[in-house]
């Protein structure tokens, strides 16, 4: 058989189907893949969102048949925090690196407006870490610890009424970033008829608010039927308990109350088994795949577009990474030049303004000086006038005084000659 490039193409793309005349061996490819994956191990990351005390930790312990460490969270957290723990689990020869992330303090604050933000930031941070690893020149994606969230179990309080606005807002903010599986927590607190109505109400509220929850895939024939049936049971009403009680002659996970016992794995009591089947046994791989192909892809696309990368130019022609880099570099240099020019203009403008300000201040100072000088001259003139008038007054006073003194001495002289004359007359008349 001669090699022709045409024969290497896939059906539907212009290639020919040719029969094999003997066993070649590539039918072992799926086994090779399975062996490789099993040797490598798997990782699965679950995010539990829900108010403190809704049974998140208990449900995780029940789902994975173990006791993950951790103290009960307090209700007095100032804000929402995300607590992440990773565990290595083994079942048969399959290794699973399981990460459980739980919201601590969710729904405990008076103002719950921003409660969704730390969750969104956490999910984005895991996408960003993966993207950064992907963009590295020397990347190690094959043994990179992927922390992207594969499933978000959203715990709904068993109120029997409707979803709280906090639930709707949070789910709406998360639905494009993660596979949301809503569950009614502590469903032993709600009666059977109430539960049916509650499920219908929740579903209609999710639909009317445009919240996209994860749908178990129905495109794979082997699981289409079960997944289709299970989609109709969402949101699952679950009960958690790690306590084992003897029921009949079997030990079973249950919660015991004064009026009876509720069995966690009894499908007439709750949907715990449905959740475990769907989340772990049937759709774990789909959840991982959806995370990569849908949610991460969306994050990556937005992020790269934000950074200026694009696949085609405005004329829809392919745009290479090199061209994108150069276009971005030129754009950056252009912007830098524009900024430099703007700064220079601003500097010149500021200098001009400062000069004008200084000139104005100088002018004002001159005017003030002139004003003060004039004031001083006026004052001086007034004082000189006053001095002159005082001098005149003093001179006039002196003149008057001299005249008065002259008059007084004349008067005294006149008085003295009269006395002499009188004495003489007396003497002559013989008085003396
Ligand atoms: P978390 O704060 O959401 O992690 O809640 P926990 O798992 O610590 O559970 C808080 C309390 O609720 C504990 O006393 C659990 O025993 C109890 N609990 C957990 N699951 C259930 C359930 O399904 N039904 C009922 N009635 N109680 C539960």
The residue whose CA has the least distance to atom 12 of ligand 1 is: 55
Give pTM, 2 decimals.
0.73
Query: Which of 242-246, 265-269, 289-293 is most confident?
Result: 289-293
Distance CA(207)–CA(186), nearest Å, equals 23
Work out the average pLDDT over 389-412.
Answer: 93
Q: Give the nearest ligand 1 atom to 48 CA.
A: 3
Dihedral, CA of residue 367, residue 372, residue 373 and residue 379, to nearest 10: 150
Would you state the structure tokens that stand for residue 237, as one six-digit string? 């009403």
| pLDDT > 70? residue 127 | yes
pLDDT in tens, 189-221: 998 889 999 999 999 999 999 999 999 999 988
Any atom of ligand 1 within 6 Å of the Cβ of 105: no
Q: 277 CA to middle of ligand 1, Å?
A: 21
Any atom of ligand 1 within 6 Å of the Cβ of 54: yes
Any atom of ligand 1 within 6 Å of the Cβ of 271: no
pLDDT band at 71 (very low <50, low <70, confident <90, very high): low
Distance CA(7)–CA(72), nearest Å, equals 63
Distance CA(257)–CA(345), nearest Å, equals 79
Would you state the structure tokens that stand for residue 91, as one six-digit string? 């079942």
Q: What is the pLDDT of residue 419?
A: 78
| pLDDT > 90? residue 389 | yes
Dihedral, CA of residue 82, residue 85, residue 90 and residue 91, to nearest 10: -30
Any atom of ligand 1 within 6 Å of the Cβ of 107: no
Helix 192-208 to helix 165-174 angle (10° resolution) is: 50
Any atom of ligand 1 within 6 Å of the Cβ of 56: yes
Q: What is the pLDDT of residue 28?
A: 94
The residue whose CA has the least distance to atom 27 of ligand 1 is: 186
Secondary structure letter of residue 311 according to DSSP: S
The residue whose CA has the least distance to atom 10 of ligand 1 is: 53
pLDDT in tens, 309-334: 777 777 777 667 777 778 778 888 99
Q: 271 CA to middle of ligand 1, Å?
A: 16
Q: Which of 31, 15, 50 is nearest to 235 (CA)?
A: 50
Count of positions (residues) in the chain: 432
- Let me know: does 184 contact 158? Beta carbons within 8 Å: yes
- Let me know: does 16 contact 7? Beta carbons within 8 Å: yes
| pLDDT > 80? residue 223 | yes
The DSSP bridge partners found for residue 43 are 97
Q: 185 CA to middle of ligand 1, Å?
A: 9
Q: Which of 146, 165, 84 is nearest to 119 (CA)?
A: 84
Q: Is there a cis peptide before residue 199, judged by omega within 30 degrees of 0?
A: no
Work out the average pLDDT over 238-252.
Answer: 89
Q: Give the nearest ligand 1 atom to 185 CA.
A: 23
Q: Which residues, at least 6 apart from 108, have a Cβ–Cβ distance to it below 8 Å? A: 51, 52, 75, 76, 77
Distance CA(195)–CA(184), nearest Å, equals 9
Q: 280 CA to middle of ligand 1, Å?
A: 21
Work out the average pLDDT over 243-264.
Answer: 88
Q: Classify the C-alpha dihedral 19-21-22-25 as positive or negative.
A: negative
Q: 50 CA to middle of ligand 1, Å?
A: 12
Work out the average pLDDT over 350-375.
Answer: 96
Distance CA(362)–CA(397), nearest Å, equals 52
Q: 336 CA to middle of ligand 1, Å?
A: 58
Any atom of ligand 1 within 6 Å of the Cβ of 103: no
Work out the average pLDDT over 151-167.
Answer: 91
The residue whose CA has the least distance to atom 24 of ligand 1 is: 186
Distance CA(43)–CA(5), nearest Å, equals 39
pLDDT band at 75 (very low <50, low <70, confident <90, very high): low
Would you state the structure tokens that stand for residue 378, as one six-digit string? 């006026």
| pLDDT > 60? residue 354 | yes
Any atom of ligand 1 within 6 Å of the Cβ of 70: no
The residue whose CA has the least distance to atom 2 of ligand 1 is: 53
Any atom of ligand 1 within 6 Å of the Cβ of 73: yes
Probe residue for ligand 1, chosen from 58, 154, 265 as the CB with the greatest number of ligand atoms within 8 Å: 58
What is the percent of the chain where pLDDT is above 90?
A: 62
| pLDDT > 80? residue 287 | yes
The DSSP bridge partners found for residue 154 are 49, 182
Q: What is the pLDDT of residue 1?
A: 41
Q: Give the nearest ligand 1 atom to 241 CA.
A: 20
| pLDDT > 60? residue 7 | no
| pLDDT > 90? residue 422 | no
Distance CA(297)–CA(177), nearest Å, equals 10
Distance CA(391)–CA(31), nearest Å, equals 131
């Amino acid at each position: 058989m001669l090699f022709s490039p045409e024969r290497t193409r896939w059906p539907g793309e212009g290639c020919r189907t040719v029969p094999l005349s003997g066993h070649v061996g590539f039918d072992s490819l799926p086994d090779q893949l399975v062996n490789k994956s099993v040797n490598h191990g798997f990782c699965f990351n679950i995010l539990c969102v829900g108010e403190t005390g809704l049974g998140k930790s208990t449900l995780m312990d029940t789902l994975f048949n173990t006791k993950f460490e951790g103290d009960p969270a307090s209700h007095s957290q100032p804000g929402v925090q995300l607590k992440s723990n990773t565990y290595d689990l083994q079942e048969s020869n399959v290794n699973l690196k399981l990460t459980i992330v739980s919201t601590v303090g969710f729904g405990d604050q008076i103002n719950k407006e921003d409660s969704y933000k730390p969750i969104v930031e956490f999910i984005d941070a895991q996408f960003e870490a993966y993207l950064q690893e992907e963009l590295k020149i020397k990347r190690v994606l094959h043994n990179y610890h992927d922390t992207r969230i594969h499933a978000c179990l959203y715990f709904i309080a068993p109120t029997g009424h409707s979803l709280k606005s906090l639930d709707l807002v949070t789910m709406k903010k998360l639905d494009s970033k993660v596979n949301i599986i809503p569950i009614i927590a502590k469903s032993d607190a709600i009666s059977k008829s109430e539960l049916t109505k509650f499920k219908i109400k929740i579903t209609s509220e999710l639909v009317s608010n445009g919240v996209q929850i994860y749908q178990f895939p129905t495109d794979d024939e082997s699981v289409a039927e079960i997944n289709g049936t299970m989609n109709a049971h969402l949101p699952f009403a679950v009960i958690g308990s790690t306590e084992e009680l003897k029921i009949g002659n079997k030990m079973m996970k249950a919660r015991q109350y004064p009026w009876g016992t509720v069995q966690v794995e009894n499908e007439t009591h709750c949907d715990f088994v449905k959740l475990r089947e769907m989340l772990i046994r049937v759709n774990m791989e789909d959840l991982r795949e959806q995370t990569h192909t849908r949610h991460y892809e969306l994050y990556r696309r937005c992020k790269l577009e934000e950074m200026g990368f694009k696949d085609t130019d405005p004329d829809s022609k392919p745009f290479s990474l090199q061209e994108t880099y150069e276009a971005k570099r030129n754009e950056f240099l252009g912007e830098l030049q524009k900024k430099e020019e703007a700064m220079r203009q601003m500097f010149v403008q500021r200098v001009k303004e400062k000069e004008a300000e200084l000139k104005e201040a100088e002018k004002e100072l001159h005017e003030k000086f002139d004003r003060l000088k004039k004031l001083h001259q006026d004052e001086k003139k007034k004082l000189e006038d006053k001095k002159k008038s005082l001098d005149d007054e003093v001179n006039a006073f002196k003149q008057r005084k001299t005249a008065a003194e002259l008059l007084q001495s004349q008067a005294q002289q006149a008085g003295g000659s009269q006395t002499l004359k009188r004495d003489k007359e007396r003497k002559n008349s013989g008085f003396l």
